[in-house]
Amino acid sequence: MRWRYILNVVGILTLFFGLTMLFPIAVGLYYKDQSVIPFLKSIGITTFAGLLLYLCFRGSRVETITQREGMAIVSIGWTTIGIFGALPFYLGGEFITFVDAFFESVSGVTTTGASVLTNIEAVSKGLLFWRSFIQWLGGMGIIVLSIAILPFLGVGGMQLYKAEVPSPIPDKLRPRIKDTAMLLWKVYALISLLGATLLMIGGMSPYDALCHTFTTMPTGGFSTKNASIAHFDSVYFDSVIIIFMLLAGINFSLHYQMLRGKTLAFWKDSECRFFLGTIILLIVVVTFNIHGAVYENISQAFRYGAFQVVSIITTTGYATADFDQWPAMSKLILLLCMFMGASAGSTGGGMKFLRVMLYFKYCYKELFSLIHPRSVTHIKIGGKVVPEDVTRSVLGFLGLYMGLFALCSIVLAGMGVDFVTSFTAVAATIGNVGPGFANVGPALNYAQMPYLGKWLLIWCMLLGRLEIYTIIIFLVPEFWRK
Amino acid sequence: MKVVIVGAGEVGFHVASRLAHENKDVVVIDKDSDAIRRISDNIDVQVILGSGSSPVSLEDAGIKEAEILLAVTNSDETNLVACLVANIISPYTKKLARIRNADFDKYHDIFRDHAPHIDTLINPEIEVVKTIDRLMNMPGAVDVGKFANGSIKFIGINLDKEARLAGSRLHEIPAILGKPSPLIAAVIRDEELIIPSGDDRLMPGDLVYFISEEDKIMDTLRIFDKYAEPVKRVLIVGGGRIGSRLATLLDDKPVYTKIIEKNPDICAKLAEKLNKVVVLHGDGSDQGLLNEENVQEMDFVITLTNDEEINILGSLLAKRMGARKTITKISKFSYFPLMTMIGIEQVVSPRLSAINTILQHIRRGKVLSSISIKGEQAEFMEAVALETSEIVGKPLKNISFPKGALVTSIIRNDNIIIPSGDSIIEPDDRIIIFATRQAIPKIEKILTVKLEYF
């Protein structure tokens, strides 16, 4: 482990992140609100800290970095970005304790969307813009963005990319990682632009349209309104947002293929088929379940059912209805959605459909070999054999995911949080969803969590965003052994 | 520029790594998933698991947009088929193939002019034999390369403790010698490459690279206290492809040569082919046999078996038994840095020479040849100065050369000029540039940039 180099890169990332604060400053100046001063302070502190790290640990020329170092850079980098992203919230006086500001910031960059703000609409526009903007940055990945535009990362970029965008079956669009990263960001920005335009056409103010696009595309879920999307109460906005949440939940390399003219790309990809098929099935079930029990009208039941299923399964976390009041079956389905998450290579969180699909196929293979003990079978996805070690790592991932979920829920419950709240809070943060049930349901938020509970959930959010391994590896003693 | 490489072995790996460092788009195809994983874990390239001779893999790799296809698997047949398929899918892609079987030697031109239209066939073994020949004639040299059709050579030597120049600063050298200093391009000390300036010292144990004209090489070597000794007796261990090529070459020379080979069938074939060379059946690491064959009298013991550990041990054994010099064939690059440490001076590597040949063909602009020095940290490049290039027409000191690059000589109408800061490069001069790996992309740009835009 070459710590000098690691800290040097973290310094550059911090510096780069600091510079992105120029955008909320511009917004703050435009609306002439009180957020400009805290932002100026934050940008000063962040860039100074970044520069200091960069300069202090300069000079270690490195040609390649190991996987271990890549993971260290990414997890330290993300934590650091979380801390500095919290500065505007803290200095802006929105929060009394730093942990609240830190929670809000990490919830932003990890695209969770769990909030500790009780009255969102009272917050200045510059600060709310920042809250949405960090979700947008975190969605496609701040490190992926740095790989795309900063020239320094070079060869090391690949290890960083793998640590920030872990995927069971890596997918490189171009031969070079820099080009791949650039392409992904271009596709991301293009779809975001389209989304914002459609929202504006429907009559949303440019500010709200931008902020909501910035939280839809990364499947984040922060809103500028207390009532989230329900505030607008419009079928048009609901449908536009449903479509863009779905797009964000689909592997971005498929979007790239679509843009290159392969119109059947979604259909040809087995994960995407499975993803969309599951969503349709769940929407139908939820619609019939809440029809009559909550909504008299079937079209109403479909509107809210569809929105909520898509919002939770893509791990966005917007709300148009208080689904905490829905029947148990719908609630359990939504809980399941929190775990499954979106597609691999998308901006969504959770376990990812590809892994779930691999798991099902693995189970089937096991059953098959019980019936035909001497059969030779392979797990195939899209007609291609999945290597043994990929399956193993996926099983390991699912095991760790469930294990950590159980452990964290128990610890949270031990802090005095009630049963449903503690396990849905952990499920919603580790899956980067946002709202859970009971005391963290869509109508309430995380402000009432105990002090240590907030730290635990911050950790869960990072764990979920970087897909377990990158963060958990720090706790393994072997990692520190020389 | 996009390059498709078929074969993720040692050659494929290193060429891919070099090209990725130079920001080229590289796609590697191999059917061995472990080899593929090694590449994708270490190098920023795209990888495809599949057979390189299959049209499907080649299309997946985007052969249609590729400028160059490199077929460097271990199998000549796969390489040929890959080129043939590529020729059908994408006729304008330049194709390079490694073909080692000597039976194909005569067909290199035919393959170029007819299908599969392979632009360059690389047979590293021929190169290695040439290198061995050069090393034998160059006292003390551990690395030799030639430019300008052989009229200029770069030579790497290990500086001895007793050498006159050991410990002196570069700018003091002319005073010590009483004549101008040879052009020292680079020094490798403790595995680190240094481009020395006037204040840097030469230390004992350094690997010193210098440039010299062909006819002055012996004088220059004497400066470093290396004296020529005629080669009269040579022992070759290993009668494989390289061994038999070398034996055939020495067969016609006034050199008393013996060759040891373990496999009796190969021995029989060698004996059939060779006239003067003594063919011995036995194990090259058998001390009794070496003793019997007077290994202590040998000027050179050259170990060329397919097993590198045997080569290394054989060379060490021969050296300890009194052989004057050894040359060892090594394929694993990770062994290179160890060689000086354990006392093996001269090393040849078919893979390194394959890489050199390949890189030479990939370089942009009018680069005529490029040769990597030990450990691949730097390269000598020979290029033609284009009229439109930035480097032409102004004094060298006014050209913004990247750090880590040095114009080591200018060849104008067969005259060799060792440049100073005031020298001016004229159009169509041939220049030899020494560049570290980091500086290579910038050098390529300087050599070609204007050509592309005007």
pLDDT at position A152, please? Answer: 64
Give B104's DSSP letter: G
The Cα–Cα gap between B65 and A205 comes to 45
Domains of chain A, by residue range, sit at 388-480
Q: 3-state secondary structure string, chain A? A: CCHHHHHHHHHHHHHHHHHCCHHHHHHHHHHCCCCHHHHHHHHHHHHHHHHHHHHHCCCCCCCCCCHHHHHHHHHHHHHHHHHHHHHHHHHCCCCCCHHHHHHHHHHHHCCCCCCCCCCHHHCCHHHHHHHHHHHHHHHHCHHHHHHHHCHHHHHHHHHHHHHHCCCCCCCCCCCCHHHHHHHHHHHHHHHHHHHHHHHHHCCCCHHHHHHHHHHHCCCCCCCCCCCHHHHCCCHHHHHHHHHHHHHHCCCHHHHHHHHCCCCCHHHHCHHHHHHHHHHHHHHHHHHHHHECCCECCHHHHHHHHHHHHHHHHCCCCCCCCCHHHCCHHHHHHHHHHHHHCCCCCCCCCCCCHHHHHHHHHHHHHHHHHHHCCCCCCCCEECCEECCHHHHHHHHHHHHHHHHHHHHHHHHHHHCCCCHHHHHHHHHHHHCCCCCCCHHHCCCCCHHHCCHHHHHHHHHHHHHHHCCCHHHHHHHCHHHHCC
Q: What is the pLDDT of residue A61?
A: 63
Tell whether B27 lies on the interface with A, counting CB pairs under 8 A.
yes
Of the pLDDT bands very low, low, confident and very high (cuts 50, 70, 90), residue B430 is confident
Alpha-carbon span A242 to A238, nearest angstrom: 6
Segment among A204-213, A371-380, B202-211, B275-284 with least mean pLDDT:
B202-211
Q: How confident is the model at residue B367 (pLDDT cuts 50, 70, 90)?
A: low
Shortest Cα distance from B40 to chain A (angstroms)? 9
**Residues, chain B:** 454
Say how many residues make up chain A. 482
Q: In this structure, which amino acid lies at residue B302?
A: I
Instruction: Please check the confidence at residue A154 and state whether its pLDDT lies above 60.
Output: no
Q: Do A155 and B27 touch (CB under 8 A)?
A: no
Chain B residues close to A382, C-beta within 8 Å: none
Rounded to an integer, what distance in angstroms lies between the CA atom of residue A87 and that of residue A93? 10
Q: Which chain A residues touch B43 with a CB distance below 8 Å?
A: 155, 158
**Chain A environment of B21 (Cβ under 8 Å):** 155
C-alpha distance from residue B279 to each of A194, B245, B256, B311, B328 (Å): 78, 14, 12, 18, 19
Probe site for chain B from A65, A147, A174 (most B CB atoms < 10 A) = A174
Chain A residues within 8 A of B2 when measuring between CB atoms: 175
Q: Does B33 touch chain A (CB under 8 A)?
A: yes
Task: Label residue B366 by pLDDT band (50, 70, 90).
Answer: low
pLDDT at A429: 94
B384: three-class secondary structure by DSSP: strand
The label of the residue with tokens 């499920």 reads A427
B66 to chain A: nearest residue by CA? Answer: A175
Mean predicted confidence (pLDDT) in B56-85: 91
DSSP characters for A157-180?
HHHHHHHHS--SS---SSSSHHHH
Sheet holding B94-98, edge to edge: B46-49, B25-30, B2-6, B68-71, B94-98, B120-122
Most A CBs within 10 Å, among B1, B14, B24, B44, to test the A interface: B44
pLDDT of res. A474 = 85
The whole-angstrom distance between A170's CA and the closest CA on chain B is 10
**Average pLDDT, integer, range B189-198:** 77
Cβ-based contacts of B42 with chain A (< 8 Å): 64
Report pTM. Answer: 0.80
Write the pLDDT tens digit of every residue in A260-294: 888 888 888 899 999 999 999 999 999 999 998 88
Nearest chain A residue to B42, by CA: A64
> Could you give the angle at which helices A67-91 and A125-140 cross, rounded to 10 degrees?
170
ipTM, two decimals, is: 0.75
User: Pairing mode, if any, of strands B325-329 and B300-303?
Assistant: parallel
Q: How confident is the model at residue B454 (pLDDT cuts 50, 70, 90)?
A: very low
Strands B46-49 and B25-30, by their bridges, are parallel
Contact between chains at B40 and A179 (C-beta distance less than 8 A)? no
C-beta atoms of B43 and A157 within 8 A: no
Q: Is the peptide bond before A168 cis (omega within 30 degrees of 0)?
A: no
- Residue among B27, B42, B47 minimizing CB distance to A64: B42
Q: Is B20 on the interface with A (CB under 8 A)?
A: yes
Closest CA to A412 of A447, A442, A456: A456
Domains and CATH numbers, chain B: 2-122 (3.40.50.720), 141-223 (3.30.70.1450), 233-352 (3.40.50.720), 363-453 (3.30.70.1450)
Interval A300-338: pLDDT, tens: 999 999 999 999 999 999 999 999 999 999 999 999 999
Chain A closest-CA separation from residue B44 CA (Å): 6
Q: Which chain B residues have a beta carbon less than 8 Å from that of A387?
A: 33
Where do we find the tokens 């505030």? A231
> Is A175–B26 a contact, with Cβ atoms under 8 angstroms apart?
yes
∠ CA(B86), CA(B88), CA(B92), 5° rounding? 70
Whether B364 shows a pLDDT value over 60: the answer reads: no
8 Å CB contact between A41 and A91: yes
* Tokens, residue A79: 């934590």
Q: What is the pLDDT of residue A60?
A: 63
Residues 171-190 of A with CB under 8 A from B: 172, 174-179
Q: B23 vs A176: CB contact, 8 Å cut-off?
A: yes
pLDDT of B450 strictly over 50: no
Q: CA–CA separation, B376 vs B191, rounded Å?
A: 11
